[in-house]
Structure 1
Amino acid sequence: MNQLACCYALVRFMPHSDAEEFVNVGVVVACPQTGFFDFRLKTQNTKRVTDFFGLSPKIYVAAVLVMNGELHRVKEQLEHQPGGDVATRTRALFEGVTHPREAQVKFSKARVALADSPEAELDRLYKHYVDRTFASAT
């Protein structure tokens, strides 16, 4: 099977930008070759995140829900926008949504991974960077 180039960015919660401390709370993956765009955000079991910053869970949930809405909007735009070059549209929407911003929820710099399946790569990246499966490996 041919591997596909998948662009991805980590979604980071950074409520105190002056301290530059963050926690990875999600992943956005786009595969321009196939028009794939999807994401996963941590919306449950947020104790690790809120304890790290000493915040009320309500603050975290509110910030993530705003980002969730924005990412859903972008995904729907890609799925329901007919015509044109799918690769160019996918790349442009990914770059547009992951651009640097002043907010509590930000994105890492875009990275690229080769994968057999963008869906499986999204799951793998989420488990590694958000669920931190590497930390429990012996």
Structure 2
Amino acid sequence: MHGPVAYDYATIRLVPRVDREEFINVGVIVSCPARAFLQAYIALDEKRALALDPTLDLEAIRMHLGTIPAVCAGGEQAGPLGCLSQRERFYWLIAPRSTVIQISPSHRGLCHDPAAVLEHLLETMVQSPPKETL
């Protein structure tokens, strides 16, 4: 069994109205160079997004969010960015932007399984908690 390795992660945020600075987390990116791992999961809660801005173009949002996992995967489907190394693609993805889709600052941790970290972060940082019944 290998020991723990360093990983970085960042949440993907949807900021429908940048002027209001309101956002919802819609995905997670995890990079673990020691395991040659760079993946993103997207989980857009359209109802929550429309609650922040009912005029959102959800089709355009889905299209732009879909490019993030493609850039993580690299290769031709990622366009010119696909030629960059995994680490370069991660840094490109997390670069600050003032657009509707933004990335949080990156955070670092140690893990044995970056795929399990990605699942855990999606569950805890993105997906809405189940409603409690009274």
The TM-score normalised by the length of structure 1 is 0.77
Match of 1:39 in 2: 40
Quote the sequence identity (%): 26
User: Using the alignment, how far apart are the partners of 2:131 and 2:34 within structure 1?
Assistant: 33
Match of 1:106 in 2: 102
Which of 98, 121, 127 is 1:131 aligned to?
A: 127
Match of 2:53 in 1: 54
User: One-letter code of the match for 1:59?
Assistant: D
Structure 1 residue 135, shift from structure 2 partner = 8.2
Deviations 1:70-97 (A, max 9, x none): 430342239xxxxxxxxx9332221111
Structure 1 residue 18, shift from structure 2 partner = 1.3
User: One-letter code of the match for 1:97?
Assistant: L
Q: Which secondary structure state, in structure 1, belongs to the residue aligned with residue 87 of structure 2?
A: helix
Q: Which has the higher contact order (CA 8 A, sep 6+)?
A: 1
Match of 1:22 in 2: 23
User: Using the alignment, how far apart are the partners of 1:76 and 1:92 within structure 2?
Assistant: 11
Q: Which secondary structure state, in structure 1, belongs to the residue aligned with residue 19 of structure 2?
A: coil
CA contact (8 A) 1:64 1:105 kept: no
Give structure 1 regions of 4+ aligned residues with deviation exceeding 3 angstroms: 132-136
In structure 1, stretches of 5+ residues that fail to align are: 79-87
Single out whichever of 125-134 and 16-25 deviates more from structure 2. 125-134
Q: 1:119 to 1:127 in 2, by over 3 A?
A: same
Q: Which secondary structure state, in structure 2, belongs to the residue aligned with residue 18 of structure 1?
A: helix
CA contact (8 A) 1:29 1:39 kept: yes
User: One-letter code of the match for 1:77?
Assistant: G
User: Using the alignment, how far apart are the partners of 1:75 and 1:12 within structure 2?
Assistant: 20
Aligned Cα root-mean-square deviation (Å): 2.6
What is the total number of aligned residue pairs between the two structures? 125
